[in-house]
Amino acid sequence: VTTRSVNRKTFIIRSAIALLAGVSGAGLFGAAASGASTDYKRLTEDDWRKRLTSEQFVVLRKQGTEFAFSSPLDHETRPGTYSCAGCDLSLFSSKTKFDSGTGWPSFWAPLPNAIETSVDKTFFEVRTEVHCRRCAGHLGHVFDDGPKPTGLRYCMNGVALTFRPGKP
Ligand SMILES: [Zn+2]
């Protein structure tokens, strides 16, 4: 084995490692891995603009509301889990989803330790705003006209959620 072939092997191995690191960082494991380690509450507005689509940014970071009946997730009925589009935290199970007829994906309960609420006094009425526990991204509102067993209706913006089909 000559020095030259050793160097070449080293180069190939290094390239392979770099490639794997790139794939795992940005692809397959990106959301889950960065989800746990990133301090989302310290991200700046510019950071969020880079991470999100413009629609996601307006809803999650500017308390926007998507048009009713605009989200494909409104009609999603497969078993699975709905996660935050900002930080990938699991927020809702398909088991608590129901058709509210409002045009927004609706649930009667969130997953444990997934969301937080605050009082929203915009639009001349007092509503309860719902946001992600981990990244504080705005998700929607919760109302007390939902179905049993909770009587709650979590009215969510579909653009603030990602859906992963599978065992809920
Ligand atoms: Zn989040």
Report the alpha-carbon distance of residue 1 to residue 15 in Å, rounded. Answer: 20
Give me ligand 1 centre to Cα 16, in Å.
Answer: 33
Token digits for 21? 């690191």
Residue found under tokens 């699975």 = 80
Q: Judge whether 155 counts as a catalytic residue.
A: yes
Residue 115, strand partner residues: 132
Beta strands in 3-148 (DSSP E): 80-84, 90-93, 97-98, 106-107, 115-120, 127-132, 138-143
Give me ligand 1 centre to Cα 103, in Å.
Answer: 22
Residue 129 half-sphere exposure, CB side, CA atoms within 13 Å?
Answer: 21
Give me ligand 1 centre to Cα 42, in Å.
Answer: 13
Lowest pLDDT segment from 33-37, 82-86, 95-99, 140-144: 33-37
Of 113, 104, 94, nearest in space to 164 by CA: 94
Report the alpha-carbon distance of residue 55 to residue 160 in Å, rounded. Answer: 9
pTM of the model: 0.78
Query: pLDDT tens, 138-154?
Result: 999 999 999 999 999 99
Query: pLDDT tens, 33-54?
Result: 455 678 999 999 999 999 999 9
Instruction: Kindly tell me the sign of the dihedral angle through the C-alpha atoms of 121, 143, 71, 86.
Output: positive
Which has more confidence, 14 or 75? Answer: 75
Find the catalytic residue in 84, 132, 135, 155.
155
Give me ligand 1 centre to Cα 123, in Å.
Answer: 24
Report the alpha-carbon distance of residue 38 to residue 69 in Å, rounded. Answer: 33
Q: What is the pLDDT of residue 8?
A: 57
* Distance from the Cα of residue 159 to its chain's centroid: 9
Q: What is the pLDDT of residue 87?
A: 97
Is residue 137 over pLDDT 60?
A: yes
